[in-house]
Amino acid sequence: MRSLRTAGTVALLAVLAGATPAVAAEQGFVAMFNGKDLAGWEGMPGGWWVEEGAITSESTKEQPCLKAHYLYWKGGEPADFVLRFQYKLIGGNSGVQIRSQKRPDWDTWGYQADMEAGGQWTGCLFQHDRDGVVMRGKKAVIREDGTRVEEEFASGDELQAKVKPDDWNDYEIVARGSRITLAINGHLMCEVDDRHARLACKRGIIALQMHPGPPMKVQFRNLRIKLLD
């Protein structure tokens, strides 16, 4: 375990060597994006670019996105961390993959911190094989056999009202052991203790999603990460 963490740290430091430290002023955080170009990231050619200091992707009527694709962060495969960023979503759906695996054709598999222009998925933890691992306003414990215990700690509609449509929102993801929490604009959205024997994700890449469907635009900025012991 020690050697895996050391290797991950070396990869992280290599990518971050050229990153701008301004957004990493919080103690222990390092910048994942330099605000200028896609150095340290890898994605479908032409699918992502930097616009006004933000990582950007867009689907239009003239050039629609026909299949989901992801922008991979090249900083390693962290297990336990705090990830903070800002996002702006105009239409459609997007998300940030954590503890994930690369798949062919710029695809991924793993956990996704979800966001959308509608009212269903923002602030939920998604996974391809399970859809909503835990929904907004819920805390869940998932046992090894897949059975679960859930409690509602807040109204999903009330939490949705904390999200600013078509504007910048602050998103925080905390992953430590089997526990993952998602918060938007300082409000806890969901929490899960995922012990599933087959589907729980222990470590993996971080990636940004471009989702197919109606015209939409997604932007990410101020991405920074803190590795946890």
Q: What CATH code is carried by the domain that includes residue 52?
A: 2.60.120.560
Quick one: pLDDT at residue 25?
65
Quick one: pLDDT at residue 50?
99
The one-letter amino acid at 35: G
Report whether pLDDT(34) > 80.
yes
Tally Cβ neighbours within 10 Å of residue 154: 16
Report whether pLDDT(23) > 60.
no
Q: How many whole angstroms separate alpha carbon 69 and alpha carbon 44?
A: 7
Domains: count for the chain: 1
For a pLDDT cut of 70, what percent of the chain falls above it? 89
For a pLDDT cut of 90, what percent of the chain falls above it? 84
What separation in angstroms does the CA of 189 have from each of 147, 164, 181?
21, 14, 8
The predicted-structure confidence for 58-81, as pLDDT tens digits, reads as follows 999 999 999 999 999 999 999 999
Q: Residues with Cβ < 8 Å from 190, sequence gap 6 or more? A: 123, 124, 125, 134, 135, 136, 137, 138, 139, 140, 181, 182
Helix (H, G, I), strand (E, B) or coil at 194: strand
* Mean of all residue pLDDT scores within the chain: 91
The predicted-structure confidence for 167-179, as pLDDT tens digits, reads as follows 999 999 999 999 9
Cα 83–chain centre separation: 8
- Strand 187-194 with 138-142, pairing: parallel
Quick one: pLDDT at residue 130?
85
What mean pLDDT is predicted for residues 161-169? 98
Parent domain of 160: 2-227
Instruction: Name the one residue in this structure whose structure tokens are 């990460």.
Output: 225
Quick one: pLDDT at residue 10?
45
The predicted-structure confidence for 200-228, as pLDDT tens digits, reads as follows 999 999 999 999 989 999 999 999 999 99
Q: How many whole angstroms separate alpha carbon 125 and alpha carbon 95?
A: 9
Q: What is the band of 115 on the pLDDT scale with cuts at 50, 70, 90? A: very high
Note the pTM of the prediction, 2 decimals: 0.89
Q: What is the band of 17 on the pLDDT scale with cuts at 50, 70, 90? A: very low
Quick one: pLDDT at residue 9?
47
